[in-house]
Structure 1
Amino acid sequence: MIQRYAIAQRLQVDFDSSSSESSSSRLSDSSLEENRNRFKRVFNSLKEVGDTMDYAFETVRHEIRQLTGEKIGKETVKNFYYGEGDPKFRIVMLIMGWVDSKEFSGSANNNAE
């Protein structure tokens, strides 16, 4: 939980200090790249052998919806994975919430053994 708070705080600082003040607020490139790499590491570790990337992106989209109640498109998850486009802060937070839940459940499972 502390890790999640620290990540949210770091993202918020990057968000607040961003030079863009438009309604489609963006994260700094380094923070975005760090989060994208973390997402890819978790995504790739959880993807089952034989699953298509399309199926895996749909699974993540569905799990984010279950976790947060927020809608997110499969293409949005795919674009984030491949580094296409410039995602909004809200999208990054939804995806990183999913990452946190997977990392937390993984560490909880390791501690239970």
Structure 2
Amino acid sequence: MKRTLSVASTATALLLTGLITASPASASDADRKSCINAGSVCVWQNSNYSGSRFAAGGSWGGTCANSFTYGHSVANGWPATIRFYSKDGCSGSYFDIRAHDYSSSTPFAVHSFKLLSS
């Protein structure tokens, strides 16, 4: 019993001094992973996968899709590169996200996207 208290006291002291940090997995990371595992393309309103989310799932054919949420973070669960655009209709500036990759902060508000390659 005395030994258990000593270990608990040591762990508490280390936690309080910052030598051990307790950081639970954030909901945003779980949401990003869920999107990728589902094979979807997701756009979140805010950076770090927060705010409203738009998702295009397996029934999306890869053609240009306007996002209902203009977003600042994205995840690509497709087995191909997706091109994200700054304007509706897949126009304007763009950047690419490879298969099963993501960006927690995009260079501009994403308005649309399409399949680039397979």
TM-score higher than 0.5 = no
Greater C-alpha radius of gyration: 2
Greater per-residue strand proportion: 2
- Greater helix content: 1
TM-score under structure 1 normalisation?
Answer: 0.28
For normalisation by structure 2, the TM-score amounts to 0.27
